[in-house]
Structure 1
Amino acid sequence: QSSTRCGAESRTEGMILEPSPELLVLCIAGRVIDSCAVSGEAGSHQAPCALCSYEKQGRVRRVVKAQQLWYAIIESQTETGTPYMLYKDSCNRKSNQQNLGTIKCSNLCTEIVEYTSKDEVGGDCSVLNGSLCFNPLQAARSNRRHRPIGIGVQGLADAFILMRFPFESPEAQLLNQQIFETIYYGALEASCELAEQEGPYETYEGSPVSKGILQYDMWDVTPSDLWDWKALKEKIAKYGVRNSLLLSPMPTASTAQILGNNESIEPYTSNIYTRRVLSGEFQVVNPHLLKDLTERGLWNEEMKNQIIAHNGSIQNIPEIPADLKQLYKTVWEISQKTVLKMAADRGAFIDQSQSLNIHIAEPNYGKLTSMHFYGWKQGLKTGMYYLRTKPAAKPIQFTLNKEKLREREKASEEEKERNKAAMVCSLENREECMMCGS
């Protein structure tokens, strides 16, 4: 069951996705994704599901080919950036609320993954245990019984830059995992201390944590030796925890702007952008890049014009050193395979889910299919929040000094060759796929 937003309608033969004003999430079972695979190697997620029982009961009203449905989903995402993607099996198998029932949905931003029923609704929660929302009544009941909270982050890309770690570097990937391991450990420790004082949450018994199973155990991941997990597990076995869920990295679009950080777990989308306020529009440069260029004597009006001309990228500006080009890659220049892998690395320490945007400049069926299958095989709960793409036409660059630019800029043969070499990604051509083979 699916529909698209903003009045988009799928033209796939035999499939009509009705227009809808809502932003839609697809909560997909592994069996469905298996059926969409081009080859038989797609996965081993053949666990029994409600779909199987519906088939046996004869409750099927219409048969649709899985690949046909998949094409309609990809077509909608290419045109509108949605529907969002949740992987139902991972959401349930890796949830500390699995003892309550089946999780069927998430919040809008796809990082809150909680059990809901007709009698109770998973509520939005503050990171403070004592500040749980108590409206409406169903949410109040859910919060009192399960006491879920959602701890997130912002400025992960800023942390990498300050540490001088390029986003795709092994050092950044290790730090990414260590940050979330540390947050998860600290949250569990604090929740256990609260349970020692006030007792565990009402539905604690029967949960994975009550059996000594933490989030990383459900991912079959061994934590580092940064923290004494054995001692913490022993303490939890004695006192329990006060909260059923703890971590859920959210988008942080507004708060990150207020505090001057990059959003959430995202890489920088551009090194220069326009900020609109009541007093007008201003060109804003990535503050870290501005500092580095200034210290090296490279920042001037001419450099600003070049960055604007390259739409916020510095990769083809000859004056900028190679180390800065690596450090200040935008999300469009970072392999989305790396983005997904880093999401899986920290996912082993995130007991709800994470709001994860995917950026593909020119999406097509092959690229999106490869990306979705890779994320699913990595065990992600949220496969995609929004699909971000680049517009077909570039905006007019009003502030660009074209005279100065013409004096310096040469035709970028490197970029032309890269565009010529771009290949259509497919499940049958993974090694040559720019998205998954890089």
Structure 2
Amino acid sequence: MSEAVELERPAVSDPSSNSQTIYQVIRRNGSVTAFDATKIKTALTKAFLAAEGETASGSHRVHDIVDGLADQVTTTLLKRAAPSHTLQIEDIQDQVELALMRSEHHKVARAYVLYREDRARERAKLDARKKSKKAGQPDLHVTLPDGSKRLLDIDRLATVIAEACGDLDGVSTAPIMEETRKNLYDGVTTGELALAPIMAARTLVEREPNYAFVSARLLLDKLRTEALSFVFDQPEQATQAEMGVRYATYFPAAITAGIKAGLIDPELSKFDLKKIAAAIKPERDLNFQYLGLQTLYDRYFLHVKGSRFELPQAFFMRVAMGLAIREIDREAKAIEFYDQLSTFVFMASTPTLFNAGTCRPQLSSCFLTTVPDDLDGIFKSVKDNALLAKYSGGLGNDWTPVRGLGAHIKGTNGQSQGVVPFLKVANDTAIAVNQGGKRKGAVCAYLETWHIDIEEFLDLRKNTGDDRRRTHDMNTANWVPDLFMERVMADAPWTLFSPDDTPDLHDLYGAKFKTAYEAYEAKANSGQITNFKTVRAVDLWRRMLTMLFETGHPWITFKDPCNIRSPQQHRGVVHSSNLCTEITLNTSADEVAVCNLGSINLLAHVTENGIDHDKLAKTVKTAMRMLDNVIDINFYTIPEARYSNMRHRPVGLGLMGFQDALQKLKIAYASSEAVAFADESMEAISFHAISASVDLAAERGRYESFDGSLWSKGTLPIDSLELLAKVRTEFDVDRSQRLDWDGLRERVQTTGMRNSNTMAIAPTATISNICGVSQSIEPAYRNLFVKSNMSGDFTVVNAALVRDLKERGLWDEVMISDLKYYDGSIGQIDRIPDDLKALYATAFELDSSWLIEAASRRQKWLDQAQSLNLYIANPSGKKLDDLYRLAWLRGLKTTYYLRSSAATHVEKSTLKGTDGRLNAVVNAPQAASPAPSPSPVTAPAPTPAPAVSNRPSGVIDAGAASDAITGGDVWGKACSLDDPDCEACQ
């Protein structure tokens, strides 16, 4: 270290002393120099010149401002320097920046920030050059795809890394550059070179969540090279800054390349591509986190033989153009749709993102079918499943009409083997049609609780027994009538029938079902029906819950509320839900129900003061137009789907980011305030969605089957609660409301609706990853965990928690280690205050009754249903019984997965190395060393509690050698959260 240059500064004295003091500055290279306040004035003056031009140089106003700001900064710095009388160069620059912002010279502050960023990039380049010239270190060469070699452009690598760190707090180029260099060698391939900085940045996500953005931006550089080289048919590279200009020429070329490859609809070339390209915002490429962009890269961007040619904004614009293709002013609408998608305020469903603007625009998410009771009909249904699944449709099959085991077959004078063998065929078909490798084909089979095969149906997912009567891949769900729940409550008997003996039960619900069912019971008792079985209702209920406990299936869904509250009960019956239990639409031999999904990002519509209703209304209006357009644009693989969709025009607008919104509002999930917010937010979405459908009806006309619907009678979803209450012996649901429903009700009756159904809350497992928000209405799974999907394994850390811990000076190496040890839960970490423990409680720390209470408040506003997962950490028969009875009493239409508590654990040593698929082995535990001194990840705020872990001894600490993730035990055989083989998690 060089000698300090001592300089007495009589004009600047130590505020705590009357004596003169020498202050020193430690520079970035470790050298020490004397503090010189005139340099602060020089820096401020340069910033004003950069922002205001040469006129600022002779301005007395600017001179006075600079003097005042420089004095403020100097005073602050000297106070901070005591007692060591030493300053860091970064601290000086931070104080200058802060002074400019506080004095509201925002334009000047921006100029100063940009200057700092430029200097940081230059330093990174210089450091890289110096390191590359170290004695004994040879020049590195890159092997190009054609086998030739060129000298590694270390300057460009440093530029890309510096650009990726850009405007992000808490990140640094140095560790990324250092780790990247370790993984380079002479002759490294271009692919390895592109991957090295991404891998380096990913290892730092556990320490600082903003490295997830850095990793995404580094992946973006790889994608830019890939896409530009393909589109322009020659090796090309570009930085993000250069793409500000290049997008204008790249985008039309990408559309042309996609059309030439047979992937993009030639109609898109007829748009005004110059106008469209001018509307693209390249800076929005920077808004991705790594999980989101990697998911898009792997599964969504169009490619030719593995070469992606879509950049993110081109992808969103292609989707938007595809959705606007039949609009009158389609350029304007495409830009409007693009602005919503690319800013993540709304996201269309996966099939829409996959296929909009392509030559096969199958944009719908869900298809519901009823399987008839004849061989031709059964195998036609299996074929329909294959055709619908081929282009990314999720399937829900109603199998209740198929006769049960032992039923007479007139044509052969034999006995039926029941529904199970045909379910086995449907299961294998779903696996065979894997949607082009983008995601597994998936189907859910529904069976009513009175079907004589119900007990075999419950066993379908077991790993024991005759494998010919098992469906290991198919999802299953119970379609439960209210009468069964009443018998359970009363501990009464329940009779199982074959549908060929009781054909009308399938189409009946409510009081009519009860009358017919009791009449059939009387026939069975008198000997008129012989193929039946009587069981104790409670025993069957317990077995249903036991199978849910052991296998995660069949899910519990309720027939009567789905039908009694259905707006379309005048045109048929809801016989099942869909793959994810949020769709409740009529099906028949002539109609295959279709639903078109998209989700509002609730986080983007709340401020610290609550919901931004104006923004929400605008988003919902545009989103509903997009969803309605899907119906007309859609590529239908079977005529029954087209017939149904065009007549009734159902859509399903949902939401995601609910947990994030709660945390932004500082509301704990397990609280009455969260239940009230669920009510308020869903009421707002419902109001605006219905209103938007009325607006579309005024513009485009009512849907064909509107007359006779509940809508036409002025019965809105909130009103249909009373219809259910009339037939229920037990019903306890809140009916409060806030908005002007009377005015909207009048508009609905007068103008009509464009869509028979408007809302459904889907799981959003993948599109929420794209947007970087919490899944659907889910509570946080963990605050630090490893997420697995078809794109690999990803470290996920709750950035909001990290931000709050930083503010309280609690974010350090010990905290990271404790979070790993407790599997992302903070409940047992003594240092964390109780208010944060409540706010960031994870899914298995919550009483699931809170989830049901919140879901009940949403359900009253929904014309369809919601994908509601339930979480139990320490399950028991009584807990499950109480939970699902409560769901029925609170008027829920459906429930979804029952989640176990130990699905995926974070390795106790470190998350470094969680890049792609891991096959590491966990080291044996070692005795824990004494807790280390706090090593802040970023500069702490207020004085922290002592950084001492309260973990038991004998655990692997943060510095242990193993770099691995270990899978935890799954309770029973319930679906593991984020199971890459589970369709619902994709």
Q: Provide TM-score, normalisation by structure 2.
A: 0.39
CA distance in 2, matches of 1:222, 1:29: 23
Q: 1:409 maps to which residue?
A: 950
Task: Give the partner amino acid of 1:204.
Answer: F
Asked if 1:55 is matched to 2:581, the reply is: no
Asked if 1:130 is matched to 2:582, the reply is: no
Asked if 1:362 is matched to 2:874, the reply is: yes
Task: Give the partner amino acid of 2:565.
Answer: K
RMSD (Å) for aligned C-alpha atoms: 2.8
Q: 1:266 maps to which residue?
A: 778
Structure 2 vs 1, CA of residues 342 and 281 (structure 1 numbering), >3 Å: closer, same or farther? closer
Equivalent residues in 2 for 1:355-394, closer than 5 Å: 355-382=867-894, 384-391=895-902
CA distance in 1, matches of 2:880, 2:543: 12
Equivalent residues in 2 for 1:261-340, closer than 5 Å: 261-275=773-787, 283-340=795-852
Q: 1:419 maps to which residue?
A: none
Which deviates the most, 229-238 or 249-258? 229-238
SS in structure 1 at match of 2:786: strand
Identity of aligned residues (%): 35
Q: 2:685 maps to which residue?
A: 183
Choose 1 or 2 for highest CA Rg.
2
Task: Give the partner amino acid of 1:388.
Answer: R
User: Does structure 1 conserve the Cα–Cα contact (< 8 Å) formed by 2:818 and 2:951?
Assistant: no
Q: 2:908 maps to which residue?
A: 397
Count matched residues.
Answer: 401
CA distance in 1, matches of 2:533, 2:796: 53
Q: 1:7 maps to which residue?
A: 462
CA distance in 1, matches of 2:511, 2:905: 47
SS in structure 1 at match of 2:796: strand
SS in structure 1 at match of 2:567: coil
CA distance in 1, matches of 2:556, 2:550: 15
Q: 2:642 maps to which residue?
A: 140
CA distance in 1, matches of 2:536, 2:757: 37
> Shift of residue 306 of structure 1?
0.7
Asked if 1:91 is matched to 2:562, the reply is: yes
Which deviates the most, 358-367 or 244-253? 358-367
SS in structure 2 at match of 1:131: helix
User: Does structure 1 conserve the Cα–Cα contact (< 8 Å) formed by 2:820 and 2:907?
Assistant: no
Q: 2:703 maps to which residue?
A: 201
Equivalent residues in 2 for 1:143-154, closer than 5 Å: 143-154=645-656
User: Does structure 1 conserve the Cα–Cα contact (< 8 Å) formed by 2:478 and 2:557?
Assistant: yes
Q: 1:417 maps to which residue?
A: none
Q: 2:486 maps to which residue?
A: 34
CA distance in 2, matches of 1:230, 1:25: 37
User: Does structure 1 conserve the Cα–Cα contact (< 8 Å) formed by 2:491 and 2:536?
Assistant: no
CA distance in 1, matches of 2:464, 2:574: 29
CA distance in 1, matches of 2:787, 2:810: 23
CA distance in 1, matches of 2:534, 2:791: 57
CA distance in 1, matches of 2:868, 2:790: 31
> Shift of residue 170 of structure 1?
2.6
> Shift of residue 149 of structure 1?
0.1
Deviations 1:39-63 (CA, angstroms, capped at 9, x unpaired): 68xxxx9734153343345445222
CA distance in 1, matches of 2:762, 2:793: 28
CA distance in 1, matches of 2:658, 2:903: 30
User: Does structure 1 conserve the Cα–Cα contact (< 8 Å) formed by 2:785 and 2:904?
Assistant: no
Which deviates the most, 170-179 or 295-304? 170-179
> Shift of residue 279 of structure 1?
11
> Shift of residue 236 of structure 1?
1.3
> Shift of residue 296 of structure 1?
1.5
User: Does structure 2 conserve the Cα–Cα contact (< 8 Å) formed by 1:165 and 1:172?
Assistant: yes
Task: Give the partner amino acid of 1:20.
Answer: T
Q: 2:545 maps to which residue?
A: 74
SS in structure 2 at match of 1:257: helix
SS in structure 2 at match of 1:399: coil
Q: 1:212 maps to which residue?
A: 714
> Shift of residue 154 of structure 1?
0.7
> Shift of residue 38 of structure 1?
5.9
Task: Give the partner amino acid of 1:74.
Answer: L
Structure 2 vs 1, CA of residues 391 and 224 (structure 1 numbering), >3 Å: closer, same or farther? closer
SS in structure 2 at match of 1:123: strand
Q: 1:433 maps to which residue?
A: none
> Shift of residue 3 of structure 1?
2.9
User: Does structure 1 conserve the Cα–Cα contact (< 8 Å) formed by 2:669 and 2:779?
Assistant: yes
SS in structure 2 at match of 1:64: strand
Task: Give the partner amino acid of 2:658.
Answer: L
CA distance in 2, matches of 1:46, 1:117: 19
CA distance in 1, matches of 2:573, 2:883: 26
CA distance in 2, matches of 1:268, 1:328: 8
1:19 maps to which of 456, 466, 470: 470
User: Does structure 2 conserve the Cα–Cα contact (< 8 Å) formed by 1:85 and 1:385?
Assistant: yes
- Greater relative CO (CA pairs within 8 A, separation 6+): 1
Q: Provide TM-score, normalisation by structure 1.
A: 0.85
CA distance in 2, matches of 1:255, 1:345: 24
> Shift of residue 404 of structure 1?
5.1
User: Does structure 2 conserve the Cα–Cα contact (< 8 Å) formed by 1:28 and 1:87?
Assistant: yes
Which one has the bigger helix percentage?
2
Deviations 1:337-367 (CA, angstroms, capped at 9, x unpaired): 1110110011111110000001011222211
Structure 2 vs 1, CA of residues 102 and 320 (structure 1 numbering), >3 Å: closer, same or farther? same
> Shift of residue 198 of structure 1?
2.5
